[in-house]
Amino acid sequence: MGVLGRRIKSAETQRSQPHTWAQSLASRHDMGGFSIWYIIIGIGVLALLFIPMSMLLGVRYDYTLIVVALGGTLLGILNGVLGSFAVLRRQSLLGDALSHAALPGVCVAFLFFGRDMGALLIGAGISSLLGVWFIRILTQTTRLKQDVAMGIILTSWFALGVALLTYIQSLQTASQAGLDHFIFGQAAAIRLGDVVLVAMVGGVCLMVVIAFWKELKLMTFDLEFAQANGYPVRFLDAILSLLVVIAIVLGLQLAGVILMVGLLIAPGVAARQWTRNMAQMLTLAGIFGGFAGGAGAVISGLDKNLPTGALIIVVAVIIVFVSICVAPERGFIWTWRKRQADAKHINGGGHVAD
């Protein structure tokens, strides 16, 4: 049989084989992430429909809500992109530790500078960076694992912050009012200047990620190989930690130190279910985070007593749950359908003719 004959026979054999739902979906999923565009388009359509639907439910798009929603969207995009590195490096607890470590810095800055927001955020950033430094010391000078060191810093820094906050609230001054909102966030206090700051600083952070993309990608997947090839691993790790600290500090006013880790980690977890490509994952994580930030802020507009930060995290968790259920190759539904199709194929091919 010639080459042409073998090709024709092979094509006829492929056509004769059953093409199951799972095989079809897997083949589309492997085509360079083509299905990712369906997700992006779907999120865009959902976002466009979300506005008129929310207006029908009674949401009033006043100046405050628009500013908060815009700020939540920008923070969600930034945290989704940067949090993906923590998800891939299995350092999800790092975001929790650094967000909790920011509280004593806020309290110390308040004792020296009062309610100046810039000073409070700088104090939070310095405190979080000190937390990163102490985690490094514990892991490099002792036999403690990184997760144990993060747990120690998380609890000790947060306990110190609660102690300082209790002391500040006992002072007979009116300036400490509202300082406890840094624990759970106070989105209503966000101003347009804060949104502009988030946009500018977040843009710089994303440009840093793009500039060091190759190095960060290599360090994320193969740290030992990066070290063996002379890459400045400690410098890159410090840059990544600094970017995460900046994202956390910018989001403290929106989500607070307790809920901030949800906005940092959830978008990356959801995006990881849909693709194996890192660039696509970071893109999806930014889109998921932005949608969660904007949608959560809009939902909080239904009633003045609804907490914006908590609703943002709820929307992000819903996106994670949906992704875990329906994502190709990783989702529960896809896995169940694939098992059903495989079992049917095996049982159908196992009959013996009489």
* pLDDT surpasses 90 at 187: no
**Helix, strand, coil fractions of the chain, as percent rounded to 5:** 80, 0, 20
- For 61-338, the fitting CATH number among 1.10.3720.10, 1.10.3470.10, 2.10.69.10, 1.10.1040.10 is 1.10.3470.10
Question: What pLDDT was estimated at residue 82?
Answer: 93
Q: How confident is the model at residue 338 (pLDDT cuts 50, 70, 90)?
A: confident
d(CA 307, CA 72): 13
The pLDDT of 311-335, averaged and rounded, is 88
Question: What pLDDT was estimated at residue 11?
Answer: 45
Question: What pLDDT was estimated at residue 175?
Answer: 57
Question: What pLDDT was estimated at residue 177?
Answer: 56
Burial of 291 (0-12, 13-18, 19+ CB in 10 A): buried
* pLDDT surpasses 60 at 264: yes
d(CA 137, CA 159): 20
Domain ranges within the chain, ordered by starting residue: 61-338
* pLDDT surpasses 50 at 120: yes
* pLDDT surpasses 70 at 16: no
d(CA 73, CA 288): 10
**Higher-scoring residue by pLDDT: 189, 52:** 52
CA distances from 91 to 95, 145, 268 (A): 8, 12, 12
| Residue 210 amino acid letter | I
* Residues of the chain above pLDDT 90, percent: 23
Tokens representing 331?
């989702």
The pLDDT of 141-159, averaged and rounded, is 87
* pLDDT surpasses 90 at 285: yes
Question: What pLDDT was estimated at residue 22?
Answer: 39
